[in-house]
Chains A and B, each alone.
Chain A
Amino acid sequence: MNQSPDTPDRARRMILKGAAVCGVAGLGLADLPLLLRPARAADASLYPQKAFKQKSEADALKELYGKTATPSDKISLDAPEIAENGAVVPIAISSTLPKASAIAVLVLENPYTLAAAYKIPEGTEASVSSRLKMAKTSKVVAVVESDGKLYTASKEVKVTVGGCGG
């Protein structure tokens, strides 16, 4: 009875292999309920994926709305002069432009400029407040679509500690 010295090793390898297969199968099953979930939630197909991957203001707006914007004094962009914590910068945008149908906010120095885009159906006010992450001091641009045209307002926000974990 001469046992080869690598037998226990081989056995262990088998067990590991088995575990790996189990792992994959387990993952597959865990994903299933997500796929089968009824589509009563927010519609992911509406998401403008490409617009959120653009690195310049012009490209993001072109991707999102297919046009360029002109400055307007009818947009109010409320953001701090100095943001001590770039991870949480409160930004409020409102506008008195007629027939506003969309609002977007861009942080030009972030890796991707577009931060958020909002659809404003008729009956909803052209006003939104949220909180954004800023990598560093940057110009923040508010965009409002009004009567089919794009308008912008911008403000420089100084960031003391960047919000991208740097």
Chain B
Amino acid sequence: MASTIRVRASANGDTTEVQSLIRHPMDSGFVKDKSGKLIPPHHIDVVQFEHGGKTVFTAFWGPAVSKDPYLKFSFKGGKKGDDLKVSWVDNKGETDSLTAKIR
């Protein structure tokens, strides 16, 4: 299956800008389906970004984060060709990870 993670990391001077998009329903647990039953919560809890063996960004998400969540941040020290690892875990224990090259 294709990865749920799409990430673009681009180095510009000494700063690397990271944009990521993760495919996930992010069900809040407050929404009802067509038959009126509550859809149980199913959302990403933690997303981590690692570069050079160091965590450069950690996101904790609650049910209020939109479906297919988008994230943008920047860190110092990344170079073109470096690896950036992205991983997430959701409230059901499902996970995915991806290693992307900084461009």
Contacts and interface: CB of A to CB of B under 8 A. Distances in A.
Interface of A: 34-35, 37, 40-44, 46-48, 52, 87-89, 92, 107, 110-112, 114-121, 123-125, 127-135, 163-165
Contact of A41 (B15, B70, B87): B87
Contacts of A133: 26, 28, 63-66
23 contacts: A35-B93, A41-B89, A41-B96, A42-B48, A43-B46, A44-B46, A47-B45, A88-B66, A88-B67, A92-B72, A112-B63, A116-B60, A117-B60, A118-B57, A118-B59, A118-B60, A119-B60, A127-B73, A127-B74, A128-B71, A129-B70, A131-B65, A131-B70
B32 interface: yes
Contact of A116 (B55, B57, B64, B97): B64
A163 B66 contact: yes
Given A47-B60, A127-B73, A132 B31 contact: no
Contact of A115 (B45, B64, B70): B64
Contact of B69 (A44, A112, A131, A134): A131
A34 B94 contact: yes
Nearest to B57: A124
Given A42-B47, A121-B54, A112 B64 contact: yes
Contacts, number: 133
Contacts of A118: 57-60, 73
Given A42-B87, A117-B60, A164 B30 contact: yes
A41 B15 CA distance: 25
B46 A47 contact: yes
Among the interface residues B32, B54, B61, which one has the most CB atoms of the partner chain A within 10 A?
B61
Given A46-B46, A52-B60, 18 more contacts: A37-B95, A41-B87, A41-B96, A42-B46, A43-B48, A43-B89, A52-B62, A92-B72, A116-B60, A118-B59, A119-B57, A120-B57, A123-B75, A124-B75, A130-B59, A132-B64, A133-B28, A135-B30
Contacts of A165: 30-32
A40 B97 contact: yes
Interface in B22-64: 26, 28, 30-32, 45-48, 54-64
B56 A123 contact: yes
Contacts of A112: 62-64
A42 B24 CA distance: 15
A44 B93 CA distance: 8
Contacts of B58: 46, 118-119
